[in-house]
Amino acid sequence: MSSNVSETSMDLSDKMNSMINSNQDGTHKTKSLWLDAFNNLKQDKAALFSLFIVILYSLVAILSALGIFSADWNKEVGPSYAAPSMDYWLGTDIFGRDVVAKVIHGTQIAMSVGLVSSMIAIPIGLTLGAVAGYFGGWIDEVIVWFYTTFSSIPYIMLLMSIAFILGKGLTSVYLALGLTSWVTLCRLIRSEVMKHKNRDYVQAATAIGGGHGRKLFKHIIPNVSHIIIINTSLQFQIAIKSEVILSYLGIGVQGQPSWGTMIDDAKLELARGVWWQLAGATMAMFFIVLAFNILGDALRDALDPKLKGK
Amino acid sequence: MKNYIIKRLLYIIPVIFGVCFIIFVLFNLVGGDPTHMLLGKHATAQQMEELRRTLGLDRPLLYQYFDIVKSAFTFDFGRSWNTKQEISTMIMDGAIPSLSVSLPGFILSSILGLIISVVVAYYRGRKIDTVVRIACIAGMSISSLAYILFFQWFFAYKLSLFEISGYEYGFPNFLPYILLPSIIWIILSIGPDVRFYRTVILDEIYQDYVRTARAKGLSEIVILLKHVLKNAMIPIITYVVIQLPFLILGALLLESFFSIPGLGGITLNALNSSDFPVIKAMAVLSAVAYILFSLLSDILYTVFDPRIKLK
């Protein structure tokens, strides 16, 4: 307990120092949270390494999307089901295609699924959550009813239904994941905005004649935006895992390799002793999901002062 | 508290209407004309018209919507387009195999998870705590499909320790078939369980009453088991109750890999054969189950935790 107390007081003095420093620099006070968070994150080796892995995967995905990496994943490079060797690091699949190239192309799919679904979910969750929390009253009741309704259908059921109705393919995966994953963000933003709307700085904004739009978008949302970052980090890994399941169920990615379709292939391959597609896709997925998990936790600790010291 | 419970009870009605509306929008509006899928490309306009009439798709949309709402209360989901069976009978038949896999796994993983997290909370900040935490995150980062594939291939196929797949009805007969799926269920859910329980227990450990107990000279074990765990049980019970509806849905992927004729399998078959009424029924059923169990967990929360005052 005593160590806990000293930790918090240290945090406090750290914070005050950074506040004083930032004031001397003439920078805005809101930046101190981010600076503080960055300093916290810098000390966390696991989080830094996770950030490095995320950046690495993003680079691979971008280079693959630009056609610099794995553009010829569809090319027959060797015999069918060649075991891993110096020529083919992860062996080949049934059509003699290089598994490494497929894993890289899968990275592109996985990262794009995380990115696009987040880009669909964030505007919905942020707008609804902010509006509900800020205005309260009947608007809040309607929005709460709406997301309660949405989250009452079990995630996997809703995800499968939307993907199925929209038809097979990557676009439906994006949409299904985006449309099912805004609820958590909406809930978090709503409760945070509720706390902020009566704070001094918002009242000050009212006093100088700021309208609703200005107060909400200029003042409150920047102060709750760290929630978006934490949530996105955790959302990414859920999206990546879900893509794999949808692709296995046959309502996901079609006509190009993804980690999901590779694991699905492995269902028939394992009995023949072909383990490399499963291993390749699982390992590739393992590191990025792990990195997002650790990073999400570290970001929460760094950005959410409430949880400090726990 | 009475007012809160009554209000909470009434609230499930608009939520059920909302859930039915989402399902209606998905399957009756966006879903397009299922007669195309059912009859194939060469169907004549007359055939399609006839089928639409027999399926009740020519009726006004409002009627179709209220059919779904009605099914949420009566559990009469009509017949499957594919097998022509009564859907409620299909669900009844599928529930037992589903539960026989999910229930033992769920109970064992909850107990095991709780024991591990109490031990880990006792040794918090020390090596074993770190190891368990890392193992949980690492375990959760592996695709559930990879676990199932590997375990089925290695333990059932390679080592022949378990049945590879299949199911038999009746109590002792199903045991050999559910053994491996249950073990996989435990492995899949122990990571998130321990993570959640640990956080909840640690949340309590830094409270003032724990400091008081320590000041009184109580030993760490007594504090943990008698004081902390009692308070931590409230969120833990809520967490457990909220998971119960998912047991009814069954383990979708496990059932498909081990050919267990449960509700998960029914859902996947319906997806593959565009059997709209069955998918709709499963969505309505799982949503109603979720709504009821979250109602239950909210009520438990207010009953067990007098600190919570609700308007």
pLDDT confidence bin for A147, thresholds 50/70/90: very high
Angle at B15 between CA B262 and CA B273, to 5 degrees: 35
CATH topology of domain B96-304: MetI-like fold (1.10.3720)
Nearby residues of B54 by Cβ (< 8 Å), 6 or more positions away: none
**Which residues contact residue B117 at a Cβ distance below 8 angstroms, ignoring those fewer than 6 apart?**
B193, B194, B197, B198, B201
Q: What is the CATH number of the domain that holds A32?
A: 1.10.3720.10
3-state secondary structure of A98: strand
**CB interface of A with B, residues 140-169, below 8 Å:** 145-146, 148-150, 152-154, 156-158, 160-162, 164-166
Domain count, chain A: 1
Question: What are the pLDDT digits (tens) for A254-298?
Answer: 888 899 889 888 888 888 888 888 999 999 999 999 999 999 888
pLDDT at A29 over 90: no
Nearest-angstrom CA–CA distance, A105 and A69: 8
CB contact under 8 A, A152 and B279: no
Query: Would you kindly state where each structural domain of chain B is located, as residue ranges?
Result: 2-74, 96-304
- CB of A1 within 8 Å of a chain B CB? The answer is yes
Domain interval for residue A292:
2-307
Determine the Cα–Cα distance for residues A109 and A69; give it in Å rounded to an integer: 13
Phi–psi pair at B79, nearest 5 degrees = -110, 155
Answer yes or no: do B30 and A4 touch at CB < 8 A.
Answer: no
Q: Do the Cβ atoms of B138 and A290 come within 8 Å?
A: yes
pLDDT at A126: 94
Contacts across the A-B interface (CB distance below 8 Å): 123
Assess contact for A220 and A197: CB atoms under 8 A: yes
Q: Which residue of B has its CA nearest to A273?
A: B153
Over the stretch A68-100, which tens digit does the pLDDT of each residue have?
A: 877 777 777 777 777 777 777 777 777 778 888
Closest CA to A242 of A302, A151, A159, A167: A159
Chain A residues 2-31 with CB within 8 Å of chain B:
4
A82 DSSP 8-state letter = P
C-alpha closest to that of A188 among A151, A219, A152, A162 = A151
B203 chain-A contacts, CB cut-off 8 A: 310
The sign of the CA dihedral B249, B254, B259, B265 is: positive
What gap in Å lies between CA A83 and CA B3, rounded to an integer? 67
- Contact by Cβ (8 Å): A189, A125: yes
Measured in degrees and rounded to the nearest 5, phi and psi for residue B172 equal: -75, -20
Task: For chain A, report the end-to-end CA distance as a whole number of angstroms.
Answer: 11
CA dihedral B148, B152, B155, B156 (to 10 degrees): 150
Structure token digits, residue A77: 């490079």
Cα–Cα distance measured from residue B240 to residue B254, given in angstroms and rounded to the nearest whole number: 20
Amino acid at the residue B215: A
Residues of B in contact with A294 (CB under 8 A): 137
The answer to whether the Cβ–Cβ distance between A165 and B26 falls below 8 Å is: yes
How far is residue A278 from each of residues A40, A104, B16, measured CA to CA in Å?
A: 37, 14, 41
Neighbours of A283 (CB within 10 A): 14
> Which of these, B45, B197, B17, lies nearest to B124 by C-alpha position?
B197
Q: What is the pLDDT of residue B310?
A: 54
Over pLDDT 70: what percentage of chain B? 97
Which whole number is the average pLDDT over A136-163?
91
The confidence band for B309, taking pLDDT boundaries of 50, 70 and 90, is low
> Is B36 in the A-facing interface, judged by CB distances under 8 Å?
no
Nearest CA-CA partner of B263 in B88, B143, B105:
B88
The mean pLDDT of chain B is 86
Residues 229-258 of B with CB under 8 A from A: 245-246, 249, 252-253
Stated length of chain B: 311
User: What interface predicted TM-score (ipTM) does this complex get?
Assistant: 0.85
Is there a contact between A165 and B31 (Cβ–Cβ < 8 Å)?
yes
Q: Does A293 touch chain B (CB under 8 A)?
A: yes
3-state helix, strand, coil in chain B (%, to 5): 80, 0, 20
**Contact (Cβ atoms closer than 8 angstroms) between residue A304 and residue A230:** yes
- B283 at the A interface (CB within 8 A)? yes
Rounded to two decimals, the pTM is 0.84
